[in-house]
């Protein structure tokens, strides 16, 4: 008999009632016996052993000691960065072979599905912080290939803050909570971050990206991923080709707006992880294409920037993406700790056919990830944990250490040896061989002059954005710098931005009320170039007009027309959207025909920020009743201010007036569901933005 049956299915409330000392025996199901860690069956898991009913607890109570001891050690150190994450299992399927460039089977065997585990994360926040903090998102993929694990440990932004790994601890110390006070949590909007950033010109390009809507994604499913560094592909002949990896979401790129992000942090701090979990449970499996930018030494030499510099990208207009396969996430973890928390990504995990370049950031990362697992996972045997172990054979003479889980046999644990005819041997032909890159020159602590231009690509990024996206960058700088208490830091940052564009700096200064004249920060590299814009850098340009994977929130009250709601729900689901009903009571509302409309959310727990588009399916009386509820007025007001398409009945008008809704192309009368859904699939009403907030 299956023991997977939900317990509550056969549990009556009477079964659950228990008071001091009474054993809770829940009937139903077929349950195995509970045991101690030594396998001894436990008779009573609810009362400790006492000298008498009101007497002292005895040290002899082995199950109490064991249970508390284990509990006391349940936590491991959270990741020093990327502490908050969510992950899922899935596979990568190759559709276009790269055999000409790489010998890695995962990149040459078309149609083969390679299992993988992908973890998304924020960077600065602690494990308990909110999902929608403005932050870079980690996008780490562990592919269990037949030739060993390949970890592509990327981000949702294709460039990084620094050029040399030696600066990483400074960046992170500046961004995380300030050390004396322990706050602010999960944000860069504070003095230490902007102090560091304003004094670190190489961060300028990345600052433009983190102030863009890339750092407030709508969903993990709607963001791109990037390997960031230039890597090498190595083919069977040993020839090297440079490569940059890109993950491109099937649902298109999309962000929330900043005020929404702030409110979602309160409304649902688990917004992104819930979205990932729910979509997989519903069978709407998140999908990304894997694209590569391939280029050779000749391109690298002709490119305006150094391909080893992680603060630069190669525009897709110069080296187009070649889509070679896709990743699908189709299974949620069974256990968050065992899998999502214990997964250990390391940039060092590469396989034959993929190799490193001299990017100084990548070289530093190769030390950092292996090392951090020792303190996080407690010892060098983390590769034996099921989530980390390769799915192909793993054998060597590394032995012992904390939590050794295997039992290696025999007397030989070294190489070379003649004593054992069966122990493992190195394989010079099929094993991993590093690309024999030639090196010469003087050993020195220096930054290459080819890394010196910090502004041209920052400028290119800004001017490649659409107007609303540029406006959001300006607003984000204003927001962040307005939280900086030290005026000199704000001034320094503005000076830095003059080097990107004077008008950009002026707009931010105006929004801050900073009246002093703006002076360009001194820079070693004066020759900022006006590069051609790269429309592929705009997220809005990559928006897909679809409601697939999006959420429709339908506000109802007593008197709502149930037939209309049912028709709308069917139409929304037919285009792949989720549909949720929000009512004043979670038990539902009375429909106009005397029936009941079920609800998914109670009004206060279902703010409009949780939905992509909203419907006000209200009778006149229902709207009048809701107009007295602050949460209902805020629901409508926010939907309008967040530039959402609002569908409404005629009856809803009073509530809309109360909420300050001004009719425009995104305020749609609910005649036919299809017409409303078609309007909503186009996304936000950007033209509305200047009427709902100041755009500097
Ligand atoms: Fe990381 N980074 N990083 N990083 N990073 C970590 O490793 C580090 C960098 C990235 O879901 C840590 O296991 C250094 C770039 C992701 O488990 C740590 C430098 C990129 C994750 C570490 C960088 C990343 C990490 C913390 C500069 C994008 C989460 C816990 C040289 C290409 C992986 C851990 C997961 C995690 C170090 C810069 C992405 C401390 C020293 C650039 C997605 O080892």
Question: Cα(424)–Cα(682) distance, rounded to whole angstroms?
Answer: 59
Is 140 among the domain residues? yes
pLDDT at 526: 67
Contact 187, 174 (CB under 8 A): no
155 has catalytic annotation:
yes
Determine whether the shortest distance from the Cβ of 155 to ligand 1 is under 6 A.
yes
What global pTM score does this model have? 0.95
Q: What is the pLDDT of residues 244-273, one digit of tens each?
A: 999 999 999 999 999 999 999 999 999 999
Q: Please list, in sequence order, all residues whose beta carbon lies within 8 angstroms of the beta carbon of residue 158, skipping any fewer than 6 positions away.
A: 226, 228, 244, 246, 313
What's the chain's Rg over C-alpha atoms? Answer: 29
Grade residue 26 by pLDDT with cuts at 50, 70 and 90. Answer: low
Q: Does residue 265 lie within any of the structural domains? A: yes
For residues 364 and 261, what is the distance between their CA atoms, to the nearest angstrom? Answer: 33
Site to probe by mutation for ligand 1, drawn from 369, 375, 388 as the one with most ligand atoms within 8 Å of Cβ, is 369
User: Helix (H, G, I), strand (E, B), or coil: what is residue 554?
Assistant: strand
Residue 353 has pLDDT above 60, yes or no: yes
Nearest to 253 by CA among 489, 564, 515, 545: 545
Our answer on whether the CB atom of 138 is closer than 6 Å to any ligand 1 atom is yes
Average pLDDT over residues 630-650: 98
- Residue 147 in any domain: the answer is yes
Q: Which residues of 1-34 are buried (b: 16+ CB within 10 A; e: fewer)?
A: eeeeeeeeeeeeeeeeeeeeeeeeeeeeeeeeee
- Scored b (16 or more CB within 10 A) or e, 313-325 reads bbbbeebebeebb
Q: Which domain holds residue 682?
A: 547-692
CATH code of the domain covering residue 595: 3.40.50.880
Helix (H, G, I), strand (E, B) or coil at 366: helix
Please state, as a whole number, how many other Cβ atoms lie within 10 Å of the Cβ of residue 491: 19
Atom of ligand 1 nearest to the CA of 373: 13
Q: Is 396 a catalytic residue?
A: no
Phi, psi of 556 (to 5 degrees): -125, 165
Model confidence band, residue 15 (pLDDT cutoffs 50, 70, 90): very low
The residue from 82, 89, 454, 642 that is catalytic is: 82
Q: Which CATH number does the domain housing residue 172 bear?
A: 2.40.180.10
Residue 79 labelled as part of a binding site: yes
Does residue 689 have a pLDDT over 90? yes
Tell me which of 155, 381, 471, 499 is the catalytic residue. Answer: 155
In a domain, 47, yes or no: no
**How much is the average pLDDT of 118-122?**
99
Q: Which of 363, 384, 405 is the last residue of a domain?
A: 384
Model confidence at 7, pLDDT cuts 50, 70, 90, reads very low
| Mean pLDDT, range 572-576, rounded to an integer | 97
136 domain residue, yes or no: yes
668 domain-assigned: yes
Give yes or no for residue 676 having a pLDDT over 70: yes
Domain boundary among 358, 384, 410: 384
> For 402-434, how does the pLDDT look when each residue is reduced to its tens digit (9 = 90+)?
999 999 999 999 999 999 999 999 999 999 999
Q: For tokens 């214990």, name the residue.
A: 342
In 550-639, at which residue ranges do the beta strands (DSSP E only) sit? 551-555, 578-583, 589-590, 596-597, 601-602, 613-616
How do residues 392-403 score in pLDDT, each as one tens digit?
999 999 999 999
Give the per-residue pLDDT at 644. Answer: 98
Distance of CA 359 to the CA centre of its chain: 24
Banded model confidence at residue 541, pLDDT cuts 50, 70, 90: confident
- Boundary-marking domain end, from 384, 404, 427: 384
pLDDT > 50? residue 468: yes
Residue 79 lies in a domain: no
- Per DSSP, 164 falls in state S
Atom of ligand 1 nearest to the CA of 372: 44
Count of the separate structural domains present in the chain: 2
Q: With 0-12 CB in 10 A as exposed, 13-18 as middle and 19+ as buried, what is 56?
A: exposed
User: Does 329 fall in a domain?
Assistant: yes
pLDDT at 311 over 50: yes
pLDDT score of 619 more than 90: yes
376 labelled binding-site residue:
yes
pLDDT digits (tens, 9 = 90+) for 485-528: 999 999 999 999 999 999 999 999 999 999 999 999 988 776 68
């Amino acid at each position: 008999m299956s023991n997977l049956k939900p317990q509550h299915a056969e549990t009556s409330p009477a079964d659950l009632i228990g008071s001091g000392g009474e054993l809770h025996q829940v009937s139903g199901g077929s349950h195995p016996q509970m045991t101690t860690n030594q396998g001894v069956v436990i008779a009573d898991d609810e009362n400790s052993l006492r000298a008498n009913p009101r007497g002292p607890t005895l040290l002899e109570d082995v199950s109490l000691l064991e249970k508390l001891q284990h509990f006391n050690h349940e936590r491991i150190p959270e990741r020093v960065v990327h502490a908050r994450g969510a992950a899922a299992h899935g596979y990568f399927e190759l559709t276009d072979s790269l055999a000409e460039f790489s010998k890695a089977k995962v990149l040459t065997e078309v149609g083969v599905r390679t299992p993988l585990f992908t973890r998304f994360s924020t960077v600065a926040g602690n494990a308990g912080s909110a999902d929608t903090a403005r932050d870079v998102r980690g996008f780490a993929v562990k592919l269990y290939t037949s030739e060993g694990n390949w970890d592509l440990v990327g981000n949702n932004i294709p460039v990084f803050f620094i050029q040399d790994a030696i600066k990483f601890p400074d960046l992170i110390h500046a961004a995380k909570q300030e050390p004396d006070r322990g706050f602010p949590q999960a944000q860069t909007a504070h003095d230490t971050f902007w102090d560091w950033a304003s004094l670190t010109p190489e961060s300028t390009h990345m600052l433009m990206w983190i102030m863009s809507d890339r750092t407030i994604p709508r969903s993990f499913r709607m963001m791109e991923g990037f390997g960031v560094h230039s890597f090498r592909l190595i083919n069977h002949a040993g020839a090297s080709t440079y490569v940059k990896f890109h993950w491109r979401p099937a649902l298109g790129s999309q962000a929330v707006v900043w005020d929404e992000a702030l409110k979602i942090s309160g409304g649902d701090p688990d917004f992104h992880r819930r979205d990932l979990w729910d979509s997989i449970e519903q069978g709407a499996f998140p999908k990304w294409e894997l694209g590569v930018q391939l280029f050779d030494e000749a391109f690298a030499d002709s490119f305006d920037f150094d391909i080893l510099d992680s603060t630069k990208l190669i525009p897709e207009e110069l080296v187009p993406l070649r889509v070679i396969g896709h990743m699908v996430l189709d299974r949620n973890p069974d256990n968050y700790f065992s899998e999502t928390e214990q997964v250990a990504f390391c940039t060092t995990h590469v396989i034959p056919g993929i190799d490193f370049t001299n990017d100084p950031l990548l070289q530093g990362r190769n030390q950092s990830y292996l090392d951090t697992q020792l303190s996080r996972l407690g010892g060098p045997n983390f590769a034996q944990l099921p989530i980390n172990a390769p799915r192909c054979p793993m054998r060597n003479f590394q032995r012992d250490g904390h939590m050794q889980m295997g039992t290696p046999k025999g007397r030989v644990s070294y190489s070379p040896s003649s004593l054992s005819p069966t122990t493992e041997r190195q394989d010079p032909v099929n094993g991993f061989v590093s690309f024999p890159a030639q090196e010469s020159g003087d050993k020195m602590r220096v930054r290459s002059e080819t890394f010196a231009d910090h502004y041209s690509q920052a400028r290119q990024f800004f001017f490649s954005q659409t107007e609303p996206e540029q406006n959001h960058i300006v607003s984000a700088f204003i927001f962040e710098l307005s939280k900086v208490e030290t005026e000199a830091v704000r001034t320094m940052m503005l000076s830095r931005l003059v080097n990107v564009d004077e008008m950009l700096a002026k707009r931010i200064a105006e929004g801050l009320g900073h009246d002093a004249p703006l002076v360009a920060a001194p820079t070693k590299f004066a020759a900022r170039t006006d590069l051609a814009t790269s429309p592929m850098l705009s997220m809005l340009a990559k928006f897909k007009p679809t409601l697939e994977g999006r959420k429709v929130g339908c506000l109802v009250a007593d008197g709502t027309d149930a037939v209309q709601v049912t028709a709308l729900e069917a139409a929304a689901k037919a285009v792949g959207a989720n549909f949720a009903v929000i009512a004043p009571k979670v038990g539902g509302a009375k429909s106009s025909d005397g029936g009941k409309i079920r609800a998914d959310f109670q009004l206060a727990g279902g703010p409009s920020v949780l939905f992509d588009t909203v419907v006000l399916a209200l009778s006149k009386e229902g709207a009048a009743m809701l107009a007295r509820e602050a949460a209902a007025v805020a629901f409508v007001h926010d939907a309008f201010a967040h530039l959402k398409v609002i569908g409404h009945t005629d009856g809803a008008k009073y509530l809309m007036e109360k909420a300050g809704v001004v009719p425009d192309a995104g305020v749609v009368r609910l005649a036919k569901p299809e017409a409303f859904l078609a309007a909503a699939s186009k996304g936000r009403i950007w033209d509305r933005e200047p009427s709902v907030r100041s755009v500097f």
